[in-house]
Amino acid sequence: MHFGQIPRVPGDPILGLMDLYRADTNPAKLDLGVGVYKDAQGLTPIPRAVKLAEQRLVDSEQTKSYIGGHGDAQFGALLLRQVLGSRAIALGEQRAGCTQAPGGTGALRLAGEFIAKCLPGRSIWLSDPTWPIHETLFAAAGLRVQHYPNVGADNRLDADGMLAALQQVPAGDVVLLHACCHNPTGFDLDHDDWLRVLEVVRARELLPLFDFAYQGFGDGLEEDAWAVRLFAETLPEMLITSSCSKNFGLYRERTGALIAVTSDAERLLDVRSQLASLARNLWSTPPSHGAAVVATILADEPLRQIWQDEVERMRRRIASLRGGLVEALMPYGLAERFAHIAQQRGMFSYTGLTAEQVRRLRAEDSVYLVESGRANVAGLDAERLDALAKAIARVLS
Ligand code: PMP
């Protein structure tokens, strides 16, 4: 027997929550668990720009032969501009490169493998809390994982605590930073905070690794890139993972990239040689379709405009639901207590609800949240904000 002694490990808790939600027969059930954008009908539609690009691709695609180790070159060039800005100095100096990967997750894993192999002995510092896959993914790549705070005991952003922790990080270590729309808390740094983080990163010679999974979902496509671009303009070296899952709605097409910024063009060739070699052992070459869709959209002005409008619509919907929920909590005297929901950015909100309160919401009202109290605000429904506010008030009383 080969498989007789293999221990069974628990499944992903968020995916488990999805199963419970599916099995719930209450027609008023509300899924605030899994991290996908939903529209007013509770659906995660394919953006129109993506559909149009796909139709073009079906007609024009000539081959299904492999794409290269760094992926689709046009996708890479266009994504670099989308992330770093078309006038980025690093682009002009040819010291920024893009390696396509299967989603943001693939890009993060490639970054982890790169750090483990090429920068041995460096720890990676994650925000506490962070997207749970960060914890397991970097450990699986062989890195030592350490933490800096993001929220305080009062369930509010703790930028000072974060700064103080970063000041203690050993020189050379890698710091993972959520570029915008922090997952899971929704608490983003403001410009002054970012400038302070930049100073510490520079003074301590830390290597920033930005996880940029929600460009366009916070304050806008350009605004959300502010911190990434600030660091890229100021520091000679950094890594960025970009995901096209949310802003292009391409979740299952596994579309993302690892961007490396180096001090000069020669160093970029060294780093890219390693990334291609590491990727070869992970997935050989990346999938083509999602990247071809993104390249088709970003290269075509009318399609790009349609896409930008769609991202903006998603962003505004989330922002209005945030404000709407706080307003709906007002009659219960809870608007102040939950005011942070309107200040947070992106799909997620650390509500401050306890695991027990989350369990009650699920059992009594078929409202599904992760036990940490994280709610996917995009799962809300403007028509049902009052009902949700009432349910929250009840579990708090
Ligand atoms: N980083 C963060 C912070 C995320 O929330 C996600 C998706 N949940 C990812 C990376 C990865 O996204 P994907 O692999 O689906 O592109």
pTM: 0.96
Rg of the chain, C-alpha, whole Å: 21
Burial of 29 (0-12, 13-18, 19+ CB in 10 A): middle
In total, the chain counts a number of residues equal to: 397
- pLDDT tens digit at each of 397 positions of the chain: 999 999 999 888 888 888 999 999 999 999 999 889 999 888 999 999 999 999 999 999 999 999 999 999 999 999 999 999 999 999 999 999 999 999 999 999 999 999 999 999 999 999 999 999 999 999 999 999 999 999 998 889 999 999 999 999 999 999 999 999 999 999 999 999 999 999 999 999 999 999 999 999 999 999 999 999 999 999 999 999 999 999 999 999 999 999 999 999 999 999 999 999 999 999 999 999 999 999 999 999 999 999 999 999 999 999 999 999 999 999 999 999 999 999 999 999 999 999 999 999 999 999 999 999 999 999 998 999 999 999 999 999 8
**H-helix segments, the chain:** 13-23, 48-60, 73-84, 89-92, 103-118, 132-140, 159-166, 191-203, 226-234, 265-282, 289-299, 301-329, 340-343, 355-365, 385-396
Q: Which of 382, 380, 331 is CA-nearest to residue 351?
A: 380
Burial of 397 (0-12, 13-18, 19+ CB in 10 A): exposed
Catalytically active residues, by annotation: 131, 211, 246
d(CA 250, CA 45): 10
185: Cβ below 6 Å to ligand 1? no
Answer yes or no: are the C-beta atoms of 101 and 75 closer than 8 Å.
no
148 — phi, psi (to 5°)? Answer: -125, 150
Answer yes or no: are the C-beta atoms of 275 and 258 closer than 8 Å.
yes
Between the alpha carbon of residue 55 and those of residues 60, 61, 297, the distances in Å are 9, 10, 12
d(CA 152, CA 364): 29
Residue recorded with tokens 């671009």: 229
Answer yes or no: are the C-beta atoms of 348 and 183 closer than 8 Å.
yes
Rounded distance from Cα 108 to ligand 1 centre (Å): 9
Rounded distance from Cα 384 to ligand 1 centre (Å): 28
104: Cβ below 6 Å to ligand 1? yes
211: Cβ below 6 Å to ligand 1? yes
